[in-house]
Amino acid sequence: MILTSCETVPGREVVAVLGVVKGNTVRVRHAGKDILAGLRGLVGGEVVEYTKLLAESREQSLDRMVAEAEKLGADAIVNIRMATAEVMSQAAEILCYGTAVRLR
pLDDT of residue 81: 98
pLDDT of residue 49: 77
Interatomic CA distance for residues 29 and 101, integer angstroms: 35
Q: Which domains does the chain have, with CATH numbers?
A: 2-103 (3.30.110.70)
- For the question of whether the overall pTM of this predicted structure is more than 0.85, the answer is no
Average pLDDT score over the chain: 88
* pLDDT tens, residue by residue, 17-67: 999 999 999 988 665 555 666 666 666 777 777 888 889 999 999 999 999
Contact 94, 84 (CB under 8 A): yes
Angle between helices 48-71 and 31-43 (to 10 degrees): 130
> In this structure, what are the phi and psi dihedrals at residue 3, rounded to the nearest 5 degrees?
-120, 130
Interatomic CA distance for residues 22 and 63, integer angstroms: 10
3-state secondary structure of 34: helix
